[in-house]
């Protein structure tokens, strides 16, 4: 069975690891980033007016703020998987990005709620949107830093999966070469890989963990078929 290096921040029972197992793959969980919560930002979230918008662009942020948001707080998220997670935690999701990315979400907010106050508790790597008509308060909710991962994980894996550009940089800053086949979650992650000299990238059809797992499975299947073809008499 194909062994897949999971570089994102999660445990053995994490979301991507689970999706990979359901696709018949073996996750090798060795995160390359670590996150540190900025607790004071939770006070900003807890003190929002219910009619203000709370923008959440990562599963980590959704889970962290779920315990402190006021009842019926209006929530905006990027994709359906984030919406499903937020709703399962009792959050009032009223807006999902029509383009499955942050750019579409901000543009929709400009059209829908010009002048409305918006709170965007973000990672230390996320940029603050600069769009006319939005009053955005964007405190850092958590810092994202490279983790000193076990570099031997590359030799224990057949494929590596990346779900962020920051994970790509963390890996390539420690490894001299990355010779594993690569699967990326989306365009920005793929772009960073290409900029670092890795051109052969399989990109997930959608920016979801299920799509990443499916792309890994399909990549693994193709590789196995090619290998059997070479081995055939």
With a cut of 70, which residues of the chain have pLDDT below it? 113-115, 221-233
Residue 230 CA from chain centroid, whole number: 36
pLDDT of res. 224 = 53
* 74-102 residue pLDDT tens: 999 998 889 999 999 999 999 999 887 78
**Topology of the domain covering 35-143:** Rossmann fold (3.40.50)
- Note the CATH number of domain 3-32+147-231: 3.40.50.10090
Q: Do domains 3-32+147-231 and 35-143 have the same CATH topology?
A: yes
């Amino acid at each position: 069975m194909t062994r897949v290096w999971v570089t994102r921040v999660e445990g053995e029972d994490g979301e991507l690891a689970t999706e990979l197992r359901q696709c018949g793959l073996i996750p090798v969980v060795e995160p390359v980033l670590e996150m540190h919560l900025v607790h004071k930002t939770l006070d900003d979230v807890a003190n929002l007016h219910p009619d203000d918008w709370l923008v959440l662009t990562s599963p980590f942020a959704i889970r962290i703020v779920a315990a402190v948001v006021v009842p019926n707080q209006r929530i905006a998220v990027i994709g359906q998987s984030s919406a499903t997670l937020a709703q399962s935690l009792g959050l009032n999701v009223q807006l999902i990005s029509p383009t499955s990315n942050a750019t579409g979400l901000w543009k929709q907010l400009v059209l829908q709620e010009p002048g409305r106050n918006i709170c965007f508790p973000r990672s230390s790597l996320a940029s603050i949107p600069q769009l006319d008509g939005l009053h955005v308060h964007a405190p850092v909710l958590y810092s994202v830093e490279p983790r000193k991962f076990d570099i031997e994980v590359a030799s224990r894996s057949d494929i590596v999966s990346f779900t962020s550009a920051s994970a790509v940089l963390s890996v390539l800053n420690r490894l001299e070469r990355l010779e594993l086949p690569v699967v990326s979650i989306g365009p920005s992650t793929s772009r960073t890989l290409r900029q670092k000299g890795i051109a052969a990238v399989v990109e997930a059809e959608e920016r979801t963990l299920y799509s990443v797992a499916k792309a890994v499975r399909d990549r693994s299947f193709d590789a196995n078929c090619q290998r059997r073809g070479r081995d055939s008499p």
